[in-house]
Chain A
Amino acid sequence: MRKWTRRAFIGTGTLVGGGFVLGVSGLALAPSRHSVVSENGAEKGELTTWITVTPDDVVTVLVPHCEMGQGTQTALAMMAAEEMDADWTLVRVSEAPALDNYATAYMARPMMPPVPAPFVRGVDYGTYRLARWFGFQPTGGSTAVRGTGVYGMSVAGAAAREMLVAAAAARFGVSTAECTATNSRIVHAASGRSASFGELAKAAAKISVPTSPALKNPGSYTIRRTARPRHDIPAKVNGSAIYGIDFSVPGMLYAAVEIAPVYGGKLLSVDAAPAETMPGVKRVVKLDEAVAVVADSYWRARRAVLALKPVFDDAGHGDVSSATIFAAFDKALGAAPEVSGKDARVITCDYRVPFLAHATMEPMACTARVDRDRAEVWAGTQDPLNARSIAARALKMNVENVHFTNLLLGGGFGRRLPFTFDYVDMAVRIAKAMSPTPVKMVWSRENDIQHDYYRPAGMARFAGALDASGTPIAIRSRYAGGGDGESLFMPYAIADKHAEAKDAAHPVRLGAWRSVLNSQHGFFKESFVDELSHAAGKDPFLFRRDLLANEPRFRAVLERVATIAGWGGELPDGEGRGIALTESFGSIVGEVAHVAVSPDGTLRVKHVYAIVDCGDVVNPDSAMAQVEGGIIFGLSAALLGEITIGEGRVLQRNFRDHQMIRLAAAPRITAEFIKTDRRPGGLGEPCVPPIAPAVANAIFAATGVRVRNLPIKNQSLVRNT
């Protein structure tokens, strides 16, 4: 492996605040984060950590985020290229390797209070050092564009442009102020001279990276705000894209596994003989929590592992079921919260949401080769550096001895985030047993559905009070199953708003699922507000709008979505509209669902309307794909999604008993973005939370049946008569 060094640069007139936020020593002399480039960077035309310009004028943007279809890599390259004034046709996108130099913690930046300009460099370098220290290179939390893009790529692009301008000015013998960048050239208009980025790259790479380059005015954008085809799509239509499960290496064997069905359970015993005599089987590998069969083809390995009858213990959780978990939630929540007020009318309701699986279309898979004190690992992950650490820990090696290559992800949705790399951990242990032969471990769909890190089940108990005029004066809730400040936030002007966490622990393994805690609380909050509006005898849209006088961004989203949905317009009998409004990951989304419920209770979601205020939109078409995808992902869960527990284990096995919506059930979607210069917010997740309450509220409008427990499939929607 090449040796990497920092090209430390200390600017003039900067500096500051060692250790201030993060306690990183040496911060006072921090180089610019953008100047962390390889030793031979100048020869290769590396202008910043992430941007290389070669003599053929090609600009390569190295993106420290994975591509799982969210369009991040293209969007981040657009942000860099925009500030460079690069010719977009000459821009290439590449995923940064799993090396410390590309550690990133920009995801923290959108959550921090504004950092004063003189401190920015120190803070960014500090978060970078921390990310290196912890081995982080995550893609999650809808943070790539609003974190890495805003604070990293844009600044790196602007810095690269200033370096190219400086190189050109030196070559022309003029001042930098007389030179401008346009379409991958630096032009000196007065003399008519110009030079291409490629011609200037080598000289520019020797120039110190500027610390606070000037960013463009959004009004002058030529790349951002225009629909640019995603760089990853061509390989995804002709079969050439290589996902984690597709990787192969010569001489490789295949592993199939059966895992203790109750999380935490251990393998007690297994008779290996039935598998060992089957064709192609090389070895039965016993792990703490699983048994693996390694064979010369995946099919042979899978068939053989199914011939085994492993005995696992249940980790003492054999009596846990969904019923016991929800009973514990119910008990923990206790009595309904007290709300009061003069002449107040009090409404109380409970809501429940189930565990959910990520069910990425690509089952978990990982290939590894372990040879003495070194290992190579290949998989699709949302954090290659953390996956590398997990592999190193499982093998008791230093991370420097583990080379990790990230591949395309056949879906992420939070399943492949830091600390959820059980599949990497398992694969390297199998490969160690087979050392030095490389092994590809592929999980069956049954493995995948039953061994997820599930979206937490949750329950909430609400009490609300309306005054004599039907104005809400209090909303108080208790909830079990997790919550945080963002997911609990309600924009509505209600004097007494309060939410209280109650603890009811259970042994089901949990993780982050697209939109995380907002997926539960979006449903709870926006269902309850809807219930209050009906109790007050008011229109659900107007009821919300009247509570948003001091929240113009929310109000604008709500009003616009009502407008495009034709809110208030007449509908046939059995049809209804429901509205919901949530904020998550720095973006505000309003959705209206239009549903039809037939007399026998059959539900059809006909049309979903969405208005999204996610700040400045970088790549409008791929952003719209995230809106569409978020709605469908959330709708699938609202209608059908459910993981249930019995005898401590997950009861669902495959796509027959774990259904997801398909094309026929997918509604028409009409969506718009609010046009704004405001900094980008997140977009991978924020369109998920409003859809469940919008549909539940629409069902109530259509039928008078109130859905308080998800998924909707479990409830009769035959209207109340």
Chain B
Amino acid sequence: MSQPDDPFTHLPPPRCGEPRAEVARAIRRQCTRDLCQGKRLSCPKRVLLSLLLSFTAVGALVALGLRRNPAGLAVGTVLFGLIVWSLVLAIVLVVGLGRPPGRRIARAWRLLLAVGVPLAFLAYLTVESSGSVALAEFVRGKHADGALFCGAHTFLFSGLISAGVLLLWRGTDPLSPGLSGALAGVVGGLSGAMGMGVACPNGEAWHLWCAHGSAVVALSGIGWLVGRRWLAP
């Protein structure tokens, strides 16, 4: 920061003093009490555990979905979607959270991941949908009931996975806890939506957006809010 017109160049450093001795003593007493060897999880271990949690949940949901409705699925398409979005999920974790706070990629790129991945997932659902009914028709009758039932399950599973990922990263990021929380929310949301995508045979566009895709978007936002409290020490 040394600029030619730097007003600090020829000036003494501003005075600030030191905390009083009794404050220093109190801090020392407080911080050396109950000192024992703490167990620490490194960044790669946390990423691996998060991946394990997400993929186990997705695997369980897929197994459940295949057992419930094996005939109604185009297995090739489903598997392709699962592989692609599992890769995206792994990229979100590795790129967004894979290094210690302060050494991570630029905030703008992480923000792009937190916003872009849910939007890309909504776009994918649009492409994958088998057709759509008029909105007025969707909000009435069995369409709405089906979406409500399916959406509640997606939110439940996504929420549980997000909570697990957030707990794994608890207290680790004082620098950008909101953003890290949003990324954890995206991971949980994607896992739940992928699993429900296999379990639910409905390919109608509004259903996919409201019951499956909305969980990813919502959990990204909820993760932001929760992360600000949980991820900051």
Asked if A and B bind, the verdict is: no
Please report B residues at the A interface, Cβ cutoff 8 Å: none
Please report A residues at the B interface, Cβ cutoff 8 Å: none
